[in-house]
Structures are given as structure tokens and as C-alpha cells.
Homo-oligomer: A and B are copies of this chain.
Amino acid sequence: MQFQTILDEINTEIRPLLGTGGAVATYIPALARVSPLQFGIALRTFGGQEAAAGDSATPFSIQSMSKVFSLTLAMRSLGETLWQRIGREPSGSPFNSLVQLETERGIPRNPFINAGAIAVADRLLSQGDAKTNLLALLSDLCGEAIHIDAEVAHSEADTGFRNAALANFMKAFGTLDNNTAQVLDVYFNQCAISMNCVQVARAAGYLCRDGAPPYAGPRVITEAQTRRVNALMLTCGTYDAAGEFAFRIGLPCKSGVGGGIVAVVPDTLTLCVWSPALDATGNSHLGRIALELFVTKTGLSVF
């Protein structure tokens, strides 16, 4: 398929819609001042072909998209034992809800709600320098150095009371082994990682290659683990709109409040869209529309 042509078409169709819906996340200044009038899209195929359009080289805060990579790192280090403290079911509740955590005795429903990602961060911390290890993984996958936006990380820490509540609540249930402040430091820093669409599409490439990295080298995770990450993305990757995404787009996706969404067409390609204005479910408003266009134009969908 002529992917560059398709991405150009999508960019042309999305541009007139910039500023027409959704709103930028405002809970931290560094996110609030990002212009909503931006849209980028990039993909990388199984075979290494790349295409990009729009603001695909502009770095943005990957936020919850980082959960895919921290999960990957934890699956690689811990294997099946990871799942002793983290579930794999959709939550049916807002991503930062404490209710289910109380009912289910401190075990988060899945690694993509905040509680689950904080529990993953705890496990990574027990394995060593979690922040460094995560950046190393991303840099390896992208083939260039990836950084944390320190201002965003600080802001997250200053305003992350609900995440602090989740961490302390899990600590009370024995779900976390490490000091909650240290765990939250890992979590806030991973959310503050800055990447652009091209980098994300490249970094996530192993998800469409049964775990094989974009360039040479050993598998990032096994084929079975890769399938599982994709399954989790499809059922739990877009907050409380996972059903709607499966329904309309039909691809494993993971979104972040920075406005990015990474999508996987298994055995085919990985795709990253970015536009900062979010809809009511916390997913990128135009990113979602762009993914629908992509699926319609290409017929690619797992269903």
C-alpha cells in the first residue's frame, strides 16, 4: 500500500478540523500551554518502511503511552510472576478510580489504568534503576536518545495527589514493595518522557513483529508476550473508551493525555497519531478520527 499517500490524505483531511473539538489537558502548566492546533501521524511497517505527515517530528509528552513500554520491560524481567499483583481485565471504571481497588483488595485490574502502571513501576524499581532502564529501552528501540521532560515530571509530582492516593492505597494492601515516593517518582518520570510520532511508531515496532526489534538484535519480548500486550491494548488501552475503540477502529491502541495514540496492526505495522486536544474520555479527539480514517482507507483491522 502507498502508506505515505494515505498519511498525506489523512493529514489533509484532519488539518481543517484543528481547533474544532476537544480540549488540551490542563492539570499541569506544561501540558496546558501546548497548542491544540497540531496534528502528526507516522507509521513503520513490519518490513521497515516508514511514512509520516503533519507535525510528526514535534516532540510531545507521551504520558500513558509509556505504560506499554514499562509493561514490556516488566514482562521481560519478571515473566509470569508479574501477574501475581496485577490483573488483566478491563476495568469498566475511570482510569484513576480507587473504587475497584478497594473492592479487589489492592490488586489493580490491569497494567494500563494508573494503579496498574504504578504497580508495574514498583516492580521495575525492585529490578534496578527503573527510569534509566526505561529510557535505555526506548533509545535502543528508536535508535536515538530519548529524554524525560524535567518540567513535566516536576509538575506531575506537584499535582499527582490522586496517583499518590492510589500508591498509598496499594501500599496499604501490600501490593507495592518499595517506598511510595520512589515508586511515584518512577511513574511521574515515565509519564514525562518526550517523543515524536516517528519515534513512537518506531519504538513500538516490536508489537507488529512478534517481539522482534525494529533493527537487529534479540527479541524485546517473546511472541506470546507480544500478543498479550496487543490484547491488553485492545481491551484496556484507551481508558473507558476501549469498547468504542475496538468497535470503531478495531486495533490495539494505547493513548496518553498528551494527545498521542499508538496503534498496532499485528504482523503489519505500528502507527502513532498525535493531536493535543482530548475528548471527554481523555483520548485525542482528532487522533481518534485519524485512526478511523486510516482503518477505513486501508481496511486494516483485526476484526
Q: Verify A244–B303 contact, CB threshold 8 A.
A: no
Judge if A289 is at the interface, Cβ distance under 8 Å.
no
Judge if A162 is at the interface, Cβ distance under 8 Å.
yes
Known: A162-B168, A235-B234, A250-B227. A302 touches B266 (CB 8 A): yes
Q: Which of A42-50, A87-95, A133-141, A271-279 contacts B (4 or more CB under 8 A)?
A: A87-95
Judge if A56 is at the interface, Cβ distance under 8 Å.
no
Chain B residues, CB < 8 A from A235:
90, 234-235, 242-243, 246
Q: Verify B90–A90 contact, CB threshold 8 A.
A: yes
Q: Which of A12-20, A66-74, A96-104 contacts B (4 or more CB under 8 A)?
A: A96-104
Interface residues of A in 214-272 (CB under 8 A from B): 226-228, 230-232, 234-236, 240-244, 246-247, 250, 252, 266
Chain B residues, CB < 8 A from A204:
none
Chain A contact residues: helix, strand, loop or mixed: helix
Task: Pick the contact of A243: B87, B93, B100, B161 (CB < 8 A).
Answer: B87
Q: How many residues of A contact B (CB 8 A)?
A: 49
Task: Pick the contact of A89: B231, B242, B250 (CB < 8 A).
Answer: B242
Task: Pick the contact of A231: B165, B167, B247 (CB < 8 A).
Answer: B247
Q: Verify B172–A243 contact, CB threshold 8 A.
A: no
CA distance A91 to B92 in the complex (A): 5
Chain B residues, CB < 8 A from A228:
247, 303
Judge if A196 is at the interface, Cβ distance under 8 Å.
no
Question: 7 smallest A-B Cβ distances: which pairs?
Answer: A92-B92, A90-B90, A302-B302, A161-B172, A89-B243, A165-B169, A231-B246
A88-B244, A227-B301, A231-B246 known; 5 other A-B pairs, CB under 8 Å?
Answer: A88-B247, A89-B90, A98-B102, A161-B172, A164-B165
20 residue pairs of the A-B complex, CB under 8 angstroms, read A87-B243, A89-B242, A89-B243, A92-B93, A92-B109, A98-B98, A98-B101, A98-B165, A98-B169, A164-B164, A164-B171, A164-B180, A165-B165, A165-B172, A168-B168, A228-B303, A231-B243, A231-B303, A235-B243, A302-B302
